[in-house]
Amino acid sequence: MVGESAGYTQNCQMFNPLDLLKKAPGKPESFIALDFGTTSTKAFIFSLDEQIQLLGQGQGAPTEAVEQASTQAGFRPQQAVVGVGGENCWCLTTTVRLNRPDPQKEIESEEIEKLNEQIFRAALMQATPQMSQFLGDPELTLQLIDSDVLFYKTDGQVVTEPTGQRGKVLECSTFTAYSPTSYLGQLSEVLKELDLNLWAVSSLMSILVKALANTSPLDFNAIILDVGGKVTDVAIVFGGGIWGSRPLPLGGETFTTALSEPLGLGREEAEAKKIAYANHQLRDEDVLKVREGLKPAVELWLAGVEAALADFEGIRTFPNRIILTGGGANLEELKEGLATYPLMRVLPFASPPTVEVRTDVGPQNMKLIAKDILSEP
C-alpha cells in the first residue's frame, strides 16, 4: 500500500492517505479510527454515509480500546484509520516559487508537477535533520503520511486552479507531515494483531486544526498546545495552515510524577488525585497540597513551551491566540500560567496572547478524513 514515488529522495516514501481511500474497492459502510497515544490507545467507530456518525468508542490498551468501541457499536469494522502525533509526527509548511521563462504561456500540469516535486524535496530536506536530531537517530528514514495544498499563487495573486493561468511567478504553499518508517512498520504489526486493515493514515495535528478552524480556515491563526500523556504537541497555524509543529516531551505524566513524590503517592493514586483536582472534586486541604506539588512541573512545562516556540524559524509575529487542548488541558494552572508567563519577553507577539481551553476536539474528529472522500464523485 505504501510505495516510493519517482523524483523524490530515497529516504522518504510518498504516502497520501486520500489516495488510499480512493483506491479502496468501494467505500465501506464504517471504519475504526485509532489514536495510539503515549499512555493509552483511543478507538472510535464511525458509520460512513452522508451523515457520518460516531457509533462507539473505547480507551486503554489497543485490544481493550477496540473491544470497547466494538461492543458499543455492536460490530467490529475491518477498515482502520490511524492518526499519528507526538514524537512520531513532524509537521511543516513549505513554500516554493517557480520563475517561468514565458509569462504569457498558460501554466500546464507538468509545471505543477515540477513545483510539487520541489516542495516535497525541500520539505524532506528540512524535516529529516530536525526529526533525526530530536529522536537522536542519525539513520532515520521518513515517510510522508499527510499533505495538503494551502494555496497557489500566480504573480502574488491567489488562484484556485493554477492550470491555464498566466504569470511570471508560480507559487505554492503545502503542508506536509512525516513519520519514521520504523514507527509505521510497528503500526502495521499492531494492526495485524488486531485483525484490521489499514485504510488511511493522517496527522492528528492536521485533523485537530481542521476541527478548530471549522468553517473559517483562512481566518484561523493560533498557537495550539495539545497536551498528551507524555508529549505536548506545539503547533503554529496561519490562515488555517500548519506552519510547523514540535513535540515537547512534557505532558500529563509530568504532572502526575510531580505529585507522586511530595505527596507520597503511587502512580495510579497520583493520577487519580490529579484528575480529581482538575475536576474540582478535592477537599480544600488537598487542593492546597496538589497546587503546591504541581508548581515545579508547571514552571518546567511553561519554560518548555517558550523554548519550543523559540525553535520555530522565520516567524515575524506569533499569533496572539493560544489554544490548549488534549487530555491534560484541564489543569487550570496551565491556562493561568500561559496567561501570565512573559512570553513576549523573548518572542515576537504583536499583543499579549489570549488563552482558551478546547477539550471538545481531538481524535474523535478523525471523521473529517472520510468527509474529504465522500465529497469525491
pLDDT in tens, 125-167: 999 999 999 899 999 999 999 898 989 999 999 999 999 999 9
Does a structural domain hold residue 29?
A: no
For 311, residues 6+ apart whose C-beta sits below 8 A from its C-beta are: 246
SS3 351: coil
Pair 117, 124: CB distance under 8 Å:
no
Question: CB 149: neighbour CB atoms within 10 A?
Answer: 14
Q: For residue 192, is pLDDT > 60?
A: yes
pLDDT in tens, 316-338: 999 999 999 998 899 999 999 99
**What CATH number does the domain containing 251 carry?**
3.30.420
State what percent of residues in the chain have pLDDT above 90.
Answer: 67
Q: Are 135 and 180 a contacting pair, CB within 8 Å?
A: yes
**Which residue intervals of 89-170 are DSSP H helices?**
109-135
Range in 5-9, 60-64, 210-214 with the lowest mean pLDDT: 5-9
The CA distance from 372 to 366, in Å, is 11
As a whole number of Å, the end-to-end CA separation of the chain is: 22
Type of residue at 61: A
Let me know if residue 135 belongs to a domain.
no
User: Total structural domains in the chain?
Assistant: 1
d(CA 132, CA 245): 15
Q: Which three cell numbers stand for residue 65?
A: 480500546
193 found inside a domain: no
Query: Comparing 303 with 200, which gets the higher pLDDT?
Result: 303
240 vs 376, higher pLDDT: 240
Chain position carrying cell 499492531: 190
Give the closest residue to 243 by CA, choosing from 197, 177, 292.
177
Residue 156 belongs to a domain: no
**For residues 38-46, average pLDDT:** 89
User: Is residue 286 assigned to a domain?
Assistant: yes
Structural domain for 294, as ranges: 245-357
- The rounded distance, in Å, linking the Cα atoms of 233 and 235 is 6
Give me the mean pLDDT over the 26-33 stretch: 80
Q: Is the pLDDT of residue 376 over 70?
A: no
pLDDT digits (tens, 9 = 90+) for 72-131: 999 999 999 899 998 899 999 999 999 999 999 999 999 999 999 999 999 999 999 999
* CA pair distance 84, 162, nearest whole angstrom: 31
Question: Is there a domain that residue 192 lies in?
Answer: no
pLDDT mean across residues, the chain: 87
Domain for residue 300, yes or no?
A: yes
In a domain, 301, yes or no: yes
